Amino acid sequence: MSMKNKKSYVLKLGGHVLIDDQRCIRSDILSKYIDVITHLWNHGITIHLVVGGGSLARLYIDTLKALKAPKTYQDVIGIEVSRLNAKILLHALRDKGVNAIFIDDLQAIKKPKNELYVLGGLSPAQSTTAVAALLAEAIKAEKLIIATDVDGVYTDDPKKNPNATLLKKVSIREIIDILRQEHEPGSYKLLDAIALQVIIRSQIITHVINGFDPLNVKRAIEGEEIGTLITP
């Protein structure tokens, strides 16, 4: 496939997928993501990455909260952690021959030609999911894929309610009443208000998948019925 015909997707990789509750990096999962993204890159598909902070960001934010630091500063530190996570993947992808570029300003983004963008957080009070939606909007991505630590979008929090039902396919407007924004740094819901707004205004097809199996990214691209497909 020629470079001008490369297809672009945006993957929001949840920090809780890469980092466990003991704040250790899941190196096996990380390595598999590198392999999957590199394989797709070599076959004409670019997976631009936005990486979350996970439990490590939560540790720093909770510490700052105990010290009564301003919430803006808590957010800033959470952003720094997400960027560190992103840079781990950045360098691993470069070692595989992928032309990965770290971006910390959306204004620097243009329609990619032969680059794979890697980002962490950008601004206080903004989730990395919102960043991923903004990136998908900016580059006119084929789809936004959200890899998280649950199987998709549920009618309720599946970690708290065992009777919550997985939604296989739903419109973005139908889930606005289910998903609510959290305002505490580091504790955002699956989709926050900014991400929802961007997805609606730019009609972004969004696929929420279980991120613990990196091959789910390939399955989502190929149109397999996994996770939750969110239509505009």
pLDDT for residue 186? 43
pLDDT for residue 172? 85
Query: Degrees (nearest 5) of the Cα angle 84, 131, 101?
Result: 50
pLDDT for residue 63? 96
Which tokens go with 52?
Answer: 């979350």
Q: Which of 160, 165, 146, 153 is nearest to 204 (CA)?
A: 146
pLDDT for residue 99? 97
User: How far does CA 169 lie from the centroid of its chain?
Assistant: 19
pLDDT for residue 183? 42
pLDDT for residue 203? 96
Q: What predicted TM-score, i.e. pTM, was given to this entire model?
A: 0.92
Alpha-carbon Rg of the chain, whole angstroms? 17
Task: Tell me the C-alpha distance between 155 and 165, whole Å.
Answer: 5
Q: Does domain 3-231 have CATH number 3.40.1160.10?
A: yes
Task: Tell me the C-alpha distance between 14 and 205, whole Å.
Answer: 18
CB 197 within 8 A of CB 141: no
Q: φ and ψ at 91, to 5 degrees? A: -70, -35
Residue boundaries of the structural domains of the chain: 3-231
CB 128 within 8 A of CB 53: yes
Neighbours of 161 (CB within 10 A): 11
CB 164 within 8 A of CB 157: yes
Residue-level pLDDT, tens digit, the chain, 232 residues: 444 568 999 999 999 999 998 889 999 999 999 999 999 999 999 999 999 999 999 999 999 999 999 999 999 999 999 999 999 999 999 999 999 999 998 887 777 679 999 999 999 989 999 999 999 999 999 999 999 999 998 887 788 888 888 999 999 888 777 665 444 454 446 788 899 999 999 999 999 999 999 999 999 999 999 999 999 8
